[in-house]
Structure 1
């Protein structure tokens, strides 16, 4: 361990560099505000004293829009079904959650979207019966490649009124591909010895577990089934404390992410080569820091909400991302940022 005075000095220097760099980005954001507004249509917002908001991070804007409109309410519905089934139908809890996930999928993506997901699942399960890992990988890659076939894309777009609805189906199918790949590989390795937990119904329970349905985090099939078989029992008081503390933390992360894109137009400046060429090196450093730290805080929210629901279900979610400012190598980045995906790759 380093001496306390030395640790304090490094901490002070680190915070100093961060905040000074962010201050430079803030000044540039205010200086070019009118030009950026014309070019990128900055949004007027009532939050943060009427400051304008940078809406150019597609992922954040997309999930916030869907979250506020429908997904957050469907997650609350999942939580209610989960708690009720735990109290009254513990034995049938996986099937209750599976049924709820299928209804939620139908509600958001329509009968066509649900049918496509079921078709992918059925094809993957059928190929897994050969118990050959190479065939499973080829099947998953083939199903994934169909998302980029122009005729199929046009047909799927025709099912929906808006582009955002089509993108939601696209993202959901992409994440589901990781999930049916995980199930099918486990079936290839252990299907003959653990038939009970490698049935088509367990695959559906895994595929339609709603908290991780659209965007993750990733849970491998063996982790999911192990935890479903032996869920951690917590008292109502402990669960309530976990829920309230989790809501406060998620609200703080959301507030921090929103504050960043109100004070610093990091994505708009990053998308404008003329502004990038005009700013100082301190500002460029601040833009780089702000980009990766916004990405970190964004995923604390996007993974934090489903992780909290998973925890309330009595399961253990993958660890949340570790702060990128505390990492010194990309080896640590991949291990510690998307922990669920890392476990999937290792498995």
Structure 2
């Protein structure tokens, strides 16, 4: 590794270490670098604000908790994406709700696909880029709208599949509470509407002591996973190596196999964090979070890995 470190540093610009001083880190995993940067800047603070609003509402006004969290999610969206980004998400939700009134699953699917396809129209892309000063801000809108479209699809399909007597629980305010639920707002994980609404309506005994212990244990576990992920990108340079032909050509088959295993292990640890943080907040809100991805070292087929990662998406169709 040291043999090629200088060459990779010249080509990719290895970043100075943050957690581990004296070591340089691999910046080539865009998803990890992107969400860590946004997390440090704003998202973690907004998640902390959600936690405060959630626990206060559970303690004082349990009955109105969904609406308190909906208002907070809208305010957070407005703060991060601006009034225009907020309007785009609200418009997508309104269109999906209007189409769902026809109670045709195929029509709801077509509506979702059309809304997603608008993200790739060059004129629309250019217009949205002009709303923001940086590409990172535009990408945040792009990722958020894509994930929100999945949530709108879940609501629309649940609306189509339920009997007319159950439609009262599928109102537009409940759709907004679901779409603007902040822990899952930017990157998931996905939770289908029926599970969300049932668990949000459920009023149960609230214990500050129990929730505090869940929070402390959860933070310790996520911090451990984050340290492990940072250690991997400080020592292994997996993604930079995959972008460099010379080290790969000179590596043995055993070394290439080790690199492939390291790649999927980092993928696994990354999603333990990216889904673990919102999962912890779901628990704090009294909801059941989706299961985290299975460890890739215990699998003999990568099909099962994708099945594990996409279990939550599949649950939207249950």
1:118 aligns with 2:90: yes
Q: 1:163 aligns with which of 135, 143, 148?
A: 135
- Separation in 1 of the partners of 2:302 and 2:170? 35
Shift of 1:327: 1.1
- The CA deviation string for residues 50-104 of structure 1, in whole angstroms up to 9 with x for no partner, is 1100000000000000000000000000011011111111111101100000000
- The CA deviation string for residues 130-187 of structure 1, in whole angstroms up to 9 with x for no partner, is 0001100000000000000000000000000000000000000110111000000111
- Where does structure 1 differ by over 6 angstroms across 4 or more consecutive aligned residues? none
Alignment of 1:70-109 (within 5 A): 70-109=42-81
C-alpha contact (below 8 Å) 2:268/2:295 kept by paired residues = yes
Shift of 1:272: 1.6
2:27 corresponds to which residue? 55
SS at match of 1:64: helix
Shift of 1:332: 2.5
C-alpha contact (below 8 Å) 1:292/1:324 kept by paired residues = yes
Alignment of 1:228-267 (within 5 A): 228-267=200-239
Question: Which sections of structure 2, spanning at least 5 residues, go unmatched?
Answer: none
Alignment of 1:1-347 (within 5 A): 29-190=1-162, 192-344=164-316, 346-347=317-318
- Separation in 2 of the partners of 1:48 and 1:103? 36
Count of residues in Structure 1 that have an aligned counterpart in Structure 2? 318
TM-score if structure 2 supplies the norm length?
0.97
SS at match of 1:50: coil
TM-score if structure 1 supplies the norm length?
0.89
C-alpha contact (below 8 Å) 1:44/1:53 kept by paired residues = yes
- Separation in 2 of the partners of 1:46 and 1:184? 44
C-alpha contact (below 8 Å) 2:282/2:288 kept by paired residues = yes
C-alpha contact (below 8 Å) 2:179/2:185 kept by paired residues = yes
In the superposition, relative to structure 1, how do residues 330 and 281 fare at CA in structure 2: closer, same or farther (>3 Å)? closer
C-alpha contact (below 8 Å) 2:63/2:203 kept by paired residues = no
- Separation in 1 of the partners of 2:302 and 2:10? 37
- Separation in 1 of the partners of 2:83 and 2:150? 22
- Separation in 1 of the partners of 2:150 and 2:41? 26
C-alpha contact (below 8 Å) 1:191/1:198 kept by paired residues = no
In the superposition, relative to structure 1, how do residues 191 and 204 fare at CA in structure 2: closer, same or farther (>3 Å)? farther
C-alpha contact (below 8 Å) 1:147/1:153 kept by paired residues = yes
- Separation in 1 of the partners of 2:92 and 2:170? 17
